[in-house]
Amino acid sequence: MIWTCEQIEARLSDYLDDAMTRNDRVSFEAHVGDCPRCAPLVAHLSKLLTSMHVMEQIEPPPRLIYSILDKTLGKREAVTGWRAFFGWFENISGMRLAYGALSVAGTFAILLSVLGFNFSKPKLADLRPTTIYRNADRQAHLVYAKGTKFVNDLRVVSEIQSRLRQDNDMPTSQEGVVPSREKQPGQTDGSKPTSPRQQNRANDLSHQIEILADELPVWAGHLSIPVFAREMFANSMVARRQP
């Protein structure tokens, strides 16, 4: 059976909705395959419907639901009295908000303690801006002074260690190559001159450290450098004697 263009148009939706018998489909496709008028229409509409079926829904404005509810159920009641007063508490009862509030409170506690607020004996005067400023200034200076002292102590120790190292690196060959003499009764052989030399060197180091202490008078009081240096020197001597 040969279909006309009018018949094709009349049955177009049946074809696109797959609501045709097999014979009708064959006749339909036979016409469309040869018809320059129907073929583009069928192809165009087929693509159009495919696109329309996957088109997204348009998002309504968020206020729509509330407008509908206001119009139907009436305006939401304004909360008054004690419910209004404690209403805010319901909002912070959630776990996330509770954690947030705790962390903020913790931060404030740390800040206050740093600024000199005494939690065991709280005073309103501690919360005055001038007091807070004075405490913060004092804390900052203390921290700075402690930091400076620590760095200077490190410098002193490093200086002492470097001087000790210099001393240890001095050549000892003279001690080793002292010619052996024949022992004479009543004379020292002079074969072990190390001890008095080391004593001299210790005295010399002590002298140097005392000079260093004089050069750095600020730290000397804190560290009692000569005593400290002598101890260090004695330790290094003990370490050197060990094989």
| DSSP symbol at 92 | T
C-alpha span between 46 and 214 (Å, rounded): 100
Considering only 2, 58, 95, 238, the residue that binds another protein (CB under 8 A) is 58
Considering only 41, 115, 157, 202, the residue that binds another protein (CB under 8 A) is 41
Tell me if 79 contacts another protein by CB under 8 A. Answer: no
Considering only 71, 96, 121, 241, the residue that binds another protein (CB under 8 A) is 71
Q: How many CB atoms are located within 10 Å of the residue 177 CB?
A: 7
- With a CB cutoff of 8 Å and minimum separation 6, the contacts of 2 are 27, 30, 31
Question: Could you give the C-alpha distances from 70 to 28, 62, 63, 80, in angstroms and in order?
Answer: 54, 14, 10, 19
Listed residue (190, 167, 186, 164) closest to 178, CA to CA: 190
Which stretch in 29-37, 61-69, 182-190, 211-219 sits in contact with another protein by CB under 8 A? 61-69
Q: Which of residues 150-209 bind another protein (CB under 8 A)?
A: none
C-alpha span between 127 and 133 (Å, rounded): 10
- Complex with another protein: residue 68 or 178, whichever CB lies closer: 68
Considering only 64, 84, 145, 227, the residue that binds another protein (CB under 8 A) is 64
Q: Which of residues 5-24 bind another protein (CB under 8 A)?
A: 9-10, 12-14, 16
Considering only 4, 50, 139, 203, the residue that binds another protein (CB under 8 A) is 50
- Contact set with another protein (CB under 8 A): 9-10, 12-14, 16, 41, 44-45, 47-61, 64-65, 67-69, 71-73
